[in-house]
A and B are shown apart, each in its own frame.
Chain A
């Protein structure tokens, strides 16, 4: 029995040239991918931006009922010295109807110190409520003026378009009155 095969090829019709096409194409794709990744990754945070990723703060000067804003990773961080009334309200609302369920005890290492990323989880505005003169929203915490999100005294979203609670940054108490964020 004789079979006719293409010149320099195999019975299934593939030729050496087909192999070369595929090999060339595959190598080009790998090469292009290798070159594209640096072009994409250069847009990620650079080493100096990563190096500035922690902030220290002395809490002793913040009176009860006061709040301060510090910068961490280019964003505001809210540090609030909560009153007993605010803590009680936050704990009482643990069982309320929360869009993003969280208990207050998990959101503050020490109940009197509430430390939150001051960036609305909707589209990134800074909510009002840090200064005593600012509106604090319907739940006594913060109010975002951009699109109307209300946060409670635990920084939990209660009303408005934001999907999540205000974030809790990683922080440690270095001693009783000093913290490091990041």
Chain B
């Protein structure tokens, strides 16, 4: 047998015709070597994967009761909440699950930023991560439109109107997106169709993301390459167990939101049916879009604001080349480490500005925060990487984790 682990006769019969067991074993089993020093920051990738599966499963069953029509959508959501067996729980899991999916992915992205996971040879791995993030944003936005409340309607209006900022063809593109002259029934129906499609696109992108991961292998908290078998542990049982523990924590946190605080991250205005004649006094997107919303509003120019907002995400594609440091992990970069935490703080400040109306001091703070956001990538990353003297790196993962003598023994 190609795989000595497969002993059962039925499994062997399958294995010779479709080598599924050895595939699994090489992907997440004992045949997949992972750095032996991965900490809990490395659990967020698999947690995000679980969150995606949870969204697809709850989404498929919600679609059995939801009606994507402008006159019935709002009532069908109330029908799910009041009449459908466990409907309230499924919907709250879907809504809060989306938020936790973003929490997991944001931590995952900051992990990558801190430990230099975007640097060679993991640039494509990083790129597919950004594509997943973009697809998630589109999916989450269209999902928020489906209940057809006031925030759904006006959120959809504000976001789709961004396309009118495109010179010449902007109006035609927006009319095409709407299927009318404003957000309406046709818009709702196509958003439902795409909201159902995109998670499967995300699933495919995750597959490519993992393919790239299994080619370049995981980065690790030291940011140095794996040099030999002594630096690794078999993925199963070490990291399967560690990841399962992470899943447990994830589901406990999800249970808190679903059962004790299900509407905290939503907006009360979305329990008012959509009304195309009345804009709510204060439109805010879901929390996970707030920093980007602040960037959108930072410039008093329509095209400029929209371009900056998209630029804020697209700039992530080029950071493997903007970061000039030879050392991956910020652990060994005394200067950059400080800038990293300022960047995290700046992101939180932008989120806070995005949640508030664009008046008074918020305008100035938003502008400073936006300037700093871009300065981090365009100035800090190249200049600090150039000037900074990094701390000495350990010889190997094993030497750092086990001590020099033990590392030699393990050899």
B-binding residues in A (CB < 8 A): 40, 43-46, 49, 53, 69, 71, 73-76, 119, 121-127, 144-148, 160-163
CA distance A126 to B179 in the complex (A): 20
Contact A122 B181 (CB under 8 A): no
Contact A147 B186 (CB under 8 A): no
4 residue pairs, one from A and one from B, having the closest CB atoms:
A124-B161, A73-B181, A74-B182, A123-B161
Given A74-B181, A123-B158, A126-B279, does the pair A148, B305 have CB atoms closer than 8 Å?
A: no
Contact B180 A123 (CB under 8 A): no
Contact A122 B302 (CB under 8 A): yes
Contact A46 B179 (CB under 8 A): yes
CA distance A171 to B303 in the complex (A): 30
Shortest CB distance B381–A (Å): 30
- Taking CB as reference atom, which chain B residue is nearest A45? B180
Shortest CB distance A78–B (Å): 11
Residues facing A in B152-183 (CB within 8 A) are 154, 157-162, 164, 175-183
Does B359 make an interface contact (CB < 8 A)? yes
CA distance A162 to B302 in the complex (A): 6
Does B392 make an interface contact (CB < 8 A)? no
Contact A145 B282 (CB under 8 A): yes
Does B338 make an interface contact (CB < 8 A)? no
Given A123-B158, A161-B302, does the pair A69, B277 have CB atoms closer than 8 Å?
A: yes
- B252-290 CB mask vs A (1 if < 8 Å, else 0) is 000000000000000000000000111101110000000
Contact B300 A74 (CB under 8 A): no
Does B297 make an interface contact (CB < 8 A)? yes
Given A161-B297, A162-B302, does the pair A46, B157 have CB atoms closer than 8 Å?
A: no
Chain A: interface secondary structure? loop
Beyond A45-B178, A146-B154, 6 extra complex contacts between A and B, CB < 8 Å: A49-B180, A71-B276, A124-B161, A127-B279, A145-B357, A163-B301
Shortest CB distance A99–B (Å): 10
Chain B hits for A122, CB < 8 A? 161, 302
Residues facing A in B234-262 (CB within 8 A) are none
Chain B hits for A124, CB < 8 A? 157-158, 160-161, 164, 182
Contact B300 A160 (CB under 8 A): yes
Chain A hits for B184, CB < 8 A? 49, 74
Shortest CB distance A134–B (Å): 10
Contact B180 A161 (CB under 8 A): no
Chain A hits for B279, CB < 8 A? 125-127, 144-146
Of the four ranges (under 10, 10 to 19, 20 to 34, 35 or more), the interface on chain B belongs to 35 or more
CA distance A147 to B182 in the complex (A): 19
Contact A71 B177 (CB under 8 A): no
A-binding residues in B (CB < 8 A): 154, 157-162, 164, 175-184, 186, 190, 276-279, 281-283, 297, 299-303, 305, 357-359
CA distance A162 to B181 in the complex (A): 19
- Taking CB as reference atom, which chain A residue is nearest B159? A123
Chain B hits for A161, CB < 8 A? 297, 299-302, 305
Contact for A126 among B190, B278, B357, CB less than 8 A: B278
Given A76-B277, A146-B158, A146-B283, does the pair A43, B190 have CB atoms closer than 8 Å?
A: yes
Shortest CB distance A53–B (Å): 8
Contact for B297 among A119, A125, A145, A147, CB less than 8 A: A147
Chain B hits for A46, CB < 8 A? 179, 186
Contact for B175 among A40, A44, A146, A148, CB less than 8 A: A44
Chain A hits for B154, CB < 8 A? 125, 146
CA distance A161 to B158 in the complex (A): 13
Contact B179 A49 (CB under 8 A): yes
CA distance A119 to B164 in the complex (A): 13
Chain A hits for B176, CB < 8 A? 40, 43-44
Contact for A145 among B177, B179, B281, CB less than 8 A: B281
Shortest CB distance A27–B (Å): 28
Contact for A75 among B179, B276, B357, B358, CB less than 8 A: B276
CA distance A44 to B181 in the complex (A): 10
Contact B301 A76 (CB under 8 A): no
Contact A125 B158 (CB under 8 A): yes
B186, B279, B281, B305: residue with the most chain A Cβ atoms closer than 10 Å: B279
- Taking CB as reference atom, which chain A residue is nearest B277? A76
B181, B190, B283: residue with the most chain A Cβ atoms closer than 10 Å: B181
Shortest CB distance B379–A (Å): 27
CA distance A148 to B297 in the complex (A): 10
Shortest CB distance B363–A (Å): 9
Shortest CB distance B367–A (Å): 13
CA distance A145 to B158 in the complex (A): 12
